[in-house]
Amino acid sequence: MTQNRRRSPESFKREAVDLVLVGTPLRHVAETLGIAESLLGKRKCQYEHQGDDAFPGNGKQRGESAELRQLRQQLA
């Protein structure tokens, strides 16, 4: 049996992380939103390390990654 991977919009991810950052217990947020605690923990860490560049989705690059890609194209 195969499982389809659920995709969440960037806004959903940011709202979930925001709830955790304001003090709502991670376990409560995960249960309420129907996602795994480990996934929410990973998203929180990703947001803490990358800030606004976190959760680009759909192959879109932001910040330094997009700039680096553009520079490589110019050199080529």
Instruction: Give CA separation, 39 vs 34, 49, 63, 68, in Å.
Output: 11, 15, 23, 28
Instruction: Give CA separation, 30 vs 4, 6, 33, 37, 55, in Å.
Output: 20, 15, 5, 5, 17
Reported as a single tens digit per residue, the pLDDT across 49-62 is 888 778 876 656 66
Kindly tell me if the per-residue pLDDT of 71 is higher than 70: yes
**Averaged over 60-71, what is the pLDDT?**
73
Return the DSSP state at 59. T
Reported as a single tens digit per residue, the pLDDT across 8-51 is 888 899 999 999 999 999 999 999 999 999 999 999 999 998 88
pTM: 0.68
pLDDT at position 50 is 85
Q: Which 3 state secondary structure label does DSSP give 69?
A: helix
